[in-house]
Structure 1
Amino acid sequence: MTTTQPSPPAGRLIGTFEPGSPEWHAARAHGIGGSEISAVLGLSPHESRFSLWHRKQGNIGPVQESPEMYWGKKHEPTICAEFAERHPELLVLPSGTYVADDVPWWIANPDRLGFTADGELEVIEAKTAYDDFEWGDEGTDQIPVHYKAQVRWYCRALGARRARVAVLFGLSDYREYVVEPDDEDAHFMYVAGQEFMDSLAAGQAPAIDGHTATFQAIKEIPEGMDDVDVDIESALRDRYFAALAAFRAAEEEKRHASGLVLDQIGTGRRAVVGKDRVATRTVREGKTYSLQPARNRSTAA
């Protein structure tokens, strides 16, 4: 391809670090990265505002790498190489870690940078997914909301004209999505990010919520044990006991309904209603090992 000399992205390059490395974490410690803004907004399935706040304060350690994160990182070079092969009209280059010119805590670390023939910048992000739950038709911007926030965060920081998200579903289903920048979204994220950074400076932790990451953070923060009794409010006691009772009832109903579904599946593999998948039965040594519900399940009226 014939390409003019690409202009460097907007923002200041602060380095090139291996994702997940101590240097990578250190570069993001005093700002908000693209994968973190969704936690600030309360949209992340992996991190809560509460857990991110305590992570930034050094009260808990870095996020532990999950199998999904590990394999996503392993597959990133392959997905990006496939993207580059399919887009000879773009000059695809490695990225680094940047800080926005006008907002010192706005951090961007996209997987790749793509430059058009006239030197314009596009952000390229590689993802892996078990299935296409929350993903729309290829070529649209219908992607999980936390990913949309991430790539729009990058676009604003780097002055990119758009973001392209390349996704590998399962082992062989490759698709691409396109997300345009949005000034209203960018302003909304800026306001939320500034409030979060102000709360860090003021030492004001976010409220406790029901996110799994919040509960894990609460368990990790205190160290040691004092052999003392601590009085709590009676209303909190009642709420706690009521939640335990509701959980036990829900677990019993889940077992009952799962047993009925498995009974109807018999030796089959999947339970369906028409074309809608309900659950999948897995087998080990000839016996049912688990019943996994479909992620895109819905209830009919």
Structure 2
Amino acid sequence: MKANRHTAAPAAVVVAPSGLEREQWLAVRRQGVGGSDIAAALGMSRYTSPIELYLDKVGELGDMPRSPELVEAAFWGHQHEPTIAKVFAERTGLGVVEGPGMLAHVDRRWMLANVDRYVIEPGERTPSSLLEIKTRSAFQLEEWLLGVPDGPALQTHWYLAVTGYAHAHVAALLGGNRLLIHRIQRDEGLIEHLTELVGRFWQNVLNRIPPPADGSEATRELLAHLYDVAPDSVTVADPATVLPLLEKRAAVKAREQEVADELRLVENQLKTAAGESEIVKAAGETAFTWKQNGTFAAKRFADAHPALAAKYTHQVDALDTKRLAAEHPELFRKFRARRLVVPAKKETSC
């Protein structure tokens, strides 16, 4: 059906109209926590860590590089959204309308929601639930067949908490050709728990108390791009903070080496069992393979067959980083990755 506008949800008020300029919209988002923030606030996001979300909310994140893959995924998700909403309406017989903009809970204005669509029952004039729309890879099909995965489920419950609706629908397009539709019933216990946990995060934002760094890949990526570093600058750290961390790192690195050695031993024993065969079977099934399909040893090939190597060698365009570093040292430094290096302890002489 043709999209139209409607008033705010039962428990929410409009805090930003739809069609707002992006910078204004982002400014409003920083005044609270939205559905797309929930996984990060709880430390459950693969792409955004709690500390990154905190820095964004306090306006200290700055311009961070965005993954081209995520940008592309977001683009196609936006492009497919109207089509998915239309097909959802056709397959369910329910009406689908767009909302008035960004919503906030009527009592807790820091609880924000940007709902994809609102759902109207046949014969009714006002929405009775909401629709969350997702576009996902075909590799996630099995997970979605079992229900709504944790991240989208928490986001949808957050929207139920903000809007006051009793249920929601989630429509996910998997691999571009499989639409799955799930219904989520409001869970008061989960909503209460979510509100409490995310409320603590938001209170820390208001109090300017950053969350601790965690071990996620998202935090590693953040810290690699977060600071503008002065060459050879020095920080005098509290020994009580740094030294225990260095000891813990040394212990973890030692365990890492032990695990690597043990893994190498087991794999060498498996390779011995394979011998000249590429496929090893046990109990009538393929147990493992050791095929000659890995990285090509170019240098070894060139040493053994120099004439053939010369025949198949071609020039490629490559960035002259040495020249760039010599002629533009500050710019070169700006695009270098930061490396964490812990010097080996010097042995004391007896």
Q: TM-score when scaled to structure 1?
A: 0.74
- Equivalenced residue count is 268
Partner in structure 2 of residue 30 of structure 1: 31
Pairing of 1:62-141 with structure 2 (within 5 A): 64=66, 66=70, 67-87=72-92, 89-95=93-99, 96-117=101-122, 118=124, 119-130=126-137, 131-132=139-140, 135-137=143-145
Offset, 1:242: 4.3
Q: Residue 15 in 1 paired to residue 22 in 2?
A: no
Which secondary structure state, in structure 1, belongs to the residue aligned with residue 153 of structure 2?
helix
Which secondary structure state, in structure 2, belongs to the residue aligned with residue 54 of structure 1?
helix
Contact 1:125 1:164 in 2 (8 A): yes
Offset, 1:243: 4.1
Offset, 1:181: 1.0
Structure 1 residues 46 and 288: alpha-carbon distance in aligned structure 2, compared to 1, 3 A threshold: same
Contact 1:7 1:120 in 2 (8 A): no
Gap regions ≥5 residues in structure 1: 266-272, 279-286, 290-301
Q: Residue 217 in 1 paired to residue 222 in 2?
A: yes
Offset, 1:204: 0.9
Which secondary structure state, in structure 1, belongs to the residue aligned with residue 46 of structure 2?
coil
Q: Residue 175 in 1 paired to residue 177 in 2?
A: no
- The separation in 1 between residues aligned to 2:187 and 2:63, in whole angstroms, is 30
1:73-131 deviation line (CA, Å, top 9, x unaligned): 232222222212223x3221112211111111010101111111333421111112222
- The separation in 2 between residues aligned to 1:209 and 1:198, in whole angstroms, is 19
Contact 1:17 1:23 in 2 (8 A): no
Structure 1 residues 50 and 111: alpha-carbon distance in aligned structure 2, compared to 1, 3 A threshold: same
Pairing of 1:1-301 with structure 2 (within 5 A): 8-10=8-10, 11-13=12-14, 14-17=16-19, 21-61=22-62, 64=66, 66=70, 67-87=72-92, 89-95=93-99, 96-117=101-122, 118=124, 119-130=126-137, 131-132=139-140, 135-137=143-145, 142-225=147-230, 226-228=232-234, 230=236, 233-244=242-253, 253=263
Contact 1:54 1:217 in 2 (8 A): no
Offset, 1:145: 0.9
Offset, 1:251: 7.5
Which secondary structure state, in structure 2, belongs to the residue aligned with residue 44 of structure 1?
coil
Q: Which amino acid aligns with 1:57?
A: V
Say which structure is richer in helix: 2
Offset, 1:8: 4.1
Contact 2:118 2:127 in 1 (8 A): no
1:236-261 deviation line (CA, Å, top 9, x unaligned): 2233344456567777959x97x989
Q: TM-score when scaled to structure 2?
A: 0.64
Gap regions ≥5 residues in structure 2: 296-350
- The separation in 1 between residues aligned to 2:294 and 2:85, in whole angstroms, is 38
1:3-47 deviation line (CA, Å, top 9, x unaligned): xx976413112211479x323322211100001122222222222
Moved more, 210-219 or 199-208: 210-219
Partner in structure 1 of residue 339 of structure 2: none
Offset, 1:184: 0.9
Which secondary structure state, in structure 2, belongs to the residue aligned with residue 151 of structure 1?
helix
Contact 2:8 2:103 in 1 (8 A): no
- The separation in 2 between residues aligned to 1:18 and 1:251, in whole angstroms, is 53
